[in-house]
Amino acid sequence: MSDWDFLWGLEGQELLDAMATGATYEEWAYIEAQEHEDGNIALFIDGENISNKLAKQILEKANYYGTLAVSKVYGLQKAECTKKWTEKAKENDIEDIRLCGAPEKNKVDKKIIKDMKKAILKHRQIDTICLAAHDGGYANVLKELRDLGLTTVIIGTPKMSKKLKDICDEFEEL
C-alpha cells in the first residue's frame, strides 16, 4: 500500500485538505483508530468560537451522555485563535482538524456539518450529537439530526446564539 492510498474516496476540499497535511498512511490509520467503534456520542468542537481552555469541561459534559465514538476540534490552520487547540487536542485524545487554503466564510462550520453527517452514516450506533459552538449557523443541521431521531446537545457559554439553544434537545453550559 502506498503512502497516498488513504486519499481514495476523498473529493473536493476534503481531498485538498488531506493532501496538504502531508500525513502518511500510518498517520491517517492512527487517526482512524482514535474513533471508537462502541461509542454512541459524536462530539464536534468549533475551535473558532470555543476556547481551548474549556476542553476538559467539554469532554466531561459530552461523556455524561455516553461513550465517545468521535471527538473532533476544527479550526483554520493559520488562525491564531485556534492554534492552541492543537496541543489541547493531543492532551485529550481529540482529533485536531486543521483546514487550510484560502479563507472562506463559514469554512469551519461547513466542514463540521459535513463531518456530522458522515459520522452518523459511518457509526450507526451514534445516537447523540454533541456540538460545542456558539453561532446559530448550525441550527438547520441540528434540526435535521433531531428529525432523524438523534439527540442533539449543545455545549457552550451563556453568550450562545438563542437560535442554537432553542433548536437542541439539551444545553450544557460551560
- Residues 88-118 pLDDT 10s: 999 999 999 998 877 778 899 999 999 999 9
> In what side-by-side order are the strands of the sheet with 95-99?
95-99, 68-76, 41-46, 128-132, 151-156, 170-173
The reply to whether 154 and 81 lie within a common domain is: yes
Return the C-alpha cell found at 65.
451522555
The reply to whether 150 and 168 lie within a common domain is: yes
- % of the chain surpassing 90 pLDDT: 55
The reply to whether 28 and 48 lie within a common domain is: no
The reply to whether 100 and 130 lie within a common domain is: yes
What mean pLDDT, rounded, does the chain reach? 85
Per the structure, the count of domains in the chain is 2
The reply to whether 61 and 120 lie within a common domain is: yes
Query: ∠ CA(162), CA(167), CA(171), 5° rounding?
Result: 75
Confidence of residue 26 (pLDDT cuts 50, 70, 90): low
* 141: CB partners within 8 A, 6+ apart: 113, 116, 117
The reply to whether 75 and 15 lie within a common domain is: no
Which residue range is the domain that position 27 belongs to?
A: 1-33
The reply to whether 9 and 63 lie within a common domain is: no
